């Protein structure tokens, strides 16, 4: 029940993020405003998709069981659809960011920050970053990743092609060599102010760059 509750509410806020972006509204500002209400609101934050061994999987046990009783779990399935589609939205926003800088996705070097499915852990099970990897590669991008908790990608059941891939080093020369940096997981150990000075094209899926003023308006893109 708890996993279903989170899955549905995360899907709702992810869907609103896409709608608000089309309207030119920052979903995080709306969430912060709503969170000032002293009752009746529980804050969920959007992201690039779901990961981990619970929320992306557990709700569908009930979906499977419900079919035995000829019942349809429409909320659960719709939430799964919305959350599963978020990596594609992130990649679309990445393409928009590159276009703003007069660069094509094909041939661009993109650094993805965060392989773990949530901040400050080394757990990459069901991480949406892998789906983002797949989509970026399919469009011709050259991908690398930085994750202080995962120095090397160990063998996985579904993403064996990335086995042995290693994190890049965190320094100005390395980071500034990428055409774009995509923040997929907002680890607290990362110096985002430092990142802002090293990259002129940052796609932020976690609001990690909040409060950091870029040098120009085409520096940071919400996704």
Write down the domain spans for the chain: 2-84, 86-222
Which CATH superfamily, name and number, covers 86-222?
A: NAD(P)-binding Rossmann-like Domain (3.40.50.720)
pLDDT class of 214 with cuts at 50, 70, 90: low
Whether 67 shows a pLDDT value over 60: the answer reads yes
CB distance 185 to 128 below 8 Å: no
CB distance 86 to 48 below 8 Å: yes
Query: What pLDDT does residue 41 have?
Result: 96
Query: What pLDDT does residue 195 have?
Result: 96
Q: Give dist(CA 222, CA 206) in Å, integer.
A: 8
Chain segment 168-201, per-residue pLDDT in tens: 999 999 999 999 999 999 999 999 999 999 999 9
Per CATH, 2-84 and 86-222 having the same topology is answered no
Whether 6 shows a pLDDT value over 90: the answer reads yes
Residues of the chain above pLDDT 70, percent: 98
Query: What pLDDT does residue 218 have?
Result: 64
Query: What pLDDT does residue 216 have?
Result: 59
Q: Which of 31, 37, 89, 29 is nearest to 211 (CA)?
A: 29
What are the tokens at 149?
């908790």
What are the tokens at 8?
């549905």
Query: What pLDDT does residue 211 have?
Result: 85
CB distance 180 to 202 below 8 Å: yes
Q: Which CATH number applies to 2-84?
A: 1.10.1040.10
Active site residues: 54
Whether 66 shows a pLDDT value over 90: the answer reads yes
Query: What pLDDT does residue 118 have?
Result: 95
- Mean pLDDT over 35-39 rounds to 96
Cβ atoms within 10 Å, residue 38: 6
Whether 53 shows a pLDDT value over 90: the answer reads no
- Mean pLDDT over 41-59 rounds to 92
């Amino acid at each position: 029940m708890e996993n279903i509750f989170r899955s549905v509410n995360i899907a709702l806020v992810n869907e609103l993020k896409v709608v608000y972006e089309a309207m030119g509204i920052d979903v995080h500002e709306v969430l912060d405003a709503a969170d000032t209400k002293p009752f009746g609101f529980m804050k969920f934050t959007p992201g690039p998709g779901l990961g981990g061994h619970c929320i992306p999987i557990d709700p569908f046990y009930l979906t499977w069981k419900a079919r035995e009783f000829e019942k349809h779990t429409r909320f659960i399935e719709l939430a799964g659809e919305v959350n599963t589609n978020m990596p594609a939205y992130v990649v679309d926003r990445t393409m928009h960011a590159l276009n703003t800088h007069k660069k094509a996705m094909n041939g661009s070097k993109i650094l993805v920050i965060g392989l773990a499915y949530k901040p400050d852990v080394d757990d990459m099970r069901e991480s949406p970053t892998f789906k983002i990897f797949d989509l970026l590669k399919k469009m011709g991008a050259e991908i690398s990743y930085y994750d202080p908790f995962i120095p090397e990608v160990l063998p996985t059941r579904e993403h064996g092609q990335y086995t042995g891939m290693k994190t890049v080093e965190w320094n100005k020369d390395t980071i500034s060599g990428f055409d774009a940096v995509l923040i997929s997981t907002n680890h607290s150990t990362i110096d985002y102010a430092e990142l802002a000075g090293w990259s002129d094209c940052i796609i932020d899926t976690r609001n990690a760059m909040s409060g950091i003023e870029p040098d120009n308006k085409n520096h940071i893109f919400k996704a």
